[in-house]
Amino acid sequence: MAAEKSHIHVQDVWRRYGTARKTFDAVRGVGFTVRPGELFALLGTNGAGKTSTVEMLEGLAAPHRGSIRLFGTLDPVADRARIRPRTGAMLQEGGFISHLTAQETVGMWAGLTTRPRPVAQALERAGLSHRAAVMVRNLSGGERRRLDLAIATLSHPDVLFLDEPTAGMDVEGRHATWQLIRGLQERGTTILLTTHYLEEAESLADQLAIMHRGRIAASGSVPDIVAGHPSTLSFGLPEPWAAGDLPVAGTVAEHNGRVTVTTGELQKDAARLLAWAEARDVALARFTARPASLEEAFVAVAGRDGGRQEEGA
C-alpha cells in the first residue's frame, strides 16, 4: 500500500439536524487534516459540535455538505466496510450489559472483531486485569471508560476515535488513561480525541482545534494557538514607584502590591521595563514573563460572542 499522506481529511464539512421546517447547523464548515501517527484533539465549549463531527468521521452520519476522507480516499459512509477493520471508536456512552464481567464484555466484543488481540492483553493494556472478573455494574465510571478503551483497541486500529475518553474520571484515572493513550501513540496509532480538559489536550496533542458554535475558531499546535493571545509580565514594584510610571505598551494593572502587564509585545515590553528598572536601580520583585496559556486562549475564543447560536439557519 502506498504511504498515506493523511489518515483523516475533513474539508468544509457541515452537519444539519432537524426537519424541512426547522433546521439547525451544528457543524459549520469544519476542516482539518490528521497525518498518520498524529494525535489531534478537538476542544470546545458545550454543544460546540465535537460529537457531531466525530460521528461523521465514524460514518454514523453523512455530512450535509463537504467531504471526509479516511486513509486518503475512503468515504466513512460509503466505504464503511473497508474502514471498520482499520478503525476503533470509544463512544461517549458505552452500551454495556451490566451483569457481564469485564472479561466477558471484552470477549463478547472480540467475537465481533476481525483479528482481535487476546482478551487478557486488551484488559491488561487498559489497566483492568485485576478487575477482569468484576461485573460491569460494579465497575466505577472511570473503569467503564477504560473498558470502552479496551474494546476500541481490540482490533489494533490504525485510527482511533476517542470521544471524551476521560470524562468523569478522577485525577489518577485520567493520568492512567493518558499513559494508555501515550502507549498507543508510541505504537503509531493515529488518534482523534475530543475533550473538555485543556490539560489533556496540552499534554497529549500534536495538533488541536478549538471548536465554538459549529466552527473551528483556532487550530494548530499549542504554541501556534497561544501565539495570538497576550502574554503576561508580573512583578512587585517598590515604593515610591507606581504602575503609571512604567514605560510599557501593554495594559498595566496593580493588585496587592503586584503589577501585571498584559501585552502583545512581550519581548519589547520586557526589554523596556528591565532597562527602566536598571537605570533607576529598581528591584522588580519575583519578575516573571510568560506567554498566554491554552486556557486563556480558550476562554478568549469561547467568550468571543455571547448568546445562543442561531437556529433555523
Residues that bind ligand ATP (CB under 6 A): 17, 24, 26, 44, 46-52
For residue 223, the minimal CB distance to ligand ATP (Å) is: 24
Query: 126 or 209: whose CB is closer to ligand ATP?
Result: 209
**Helix, coil or strand: residue 297:** helix
Count of Cβ atoms closer than 10 Å to residue 98 Cβ: 10
Say if residue 240 is preceded by a cis peptide, omega within 30 of 0.
yes
Query: 69 or 212: whose CB is closer to ligand ATP?
Result: 212
Question: Cell digits for 304?
Answer: 468571543
For residue 27, the minimal CB distance to ligand ATP (Å) is: 7
**Helix, coil or strand: residue 162:** strand
For residue 214, the minimal CB distance to ligand ATP (Å) is: 7
Query: 9 or 15: whose CB is closer to ligand ATP?
Result: 15
For residue 236, the minimal CB distance to ligand ATP (Å) is: 40
Question: Cell digits for 207?
Answer: 495538533
Count of Cβ atoms closer than 10 Å to residue 125 Cβ: 18
Q: Of 60, 73, 59, 66, which Cα lies nearest the Cα of 27?
A: 66
What sign results for the dihedral spanned by CA atoms 47, 51, 56, 57? positive
Q: Measured between alpha carbons, how far is 248 from 91 in angstroms, rounded to an integer? A: 50
Query: 71 or 161: whose CB is closer to ligand ATP?
Result: 161
- Residue 244 DSSP code: G
Residue with cell 493588585: 255
Q: Of 169, 110, 241, which Cα lies nearest the Cα of 252?
A: 241
Rg value, the chain, Cα: 24
Q: Measured between alpha carbons, how far is 211 from 280 in angstroms, rounded to an integer? A: 47
Query: 46 or 256: whose CB is closer to ligand ATP?
Result: 46
**Identity (one letter) of the amino acid at 313?**
A
Q: Measured between alpha carbons, how far is 84 from 89 in angstroms, rounded to an integer? A: 10
For residue 194, the minimal CB distance to ligand ATP (Å) is: 6
For residue 96, the minimal CB distance to ligand ATP (Å) is: 20
Query: 51 or 87: whose CB is closer to ligand ATP?
Result: 51
Query: 50 or 174: whose CB is closer to ligand ATP?
Result: 50
φ, ψ for residue 134, nearest 5 deg: -90, 135
For residue 26, the minimal CB distance to ligand ATP (Å) is: 3
For residue 140, the minimal CB distance to ligand ATP (Å) is: 21
Query: 30 or 70: whose CB is closer to ligand ATP?
Result: 30
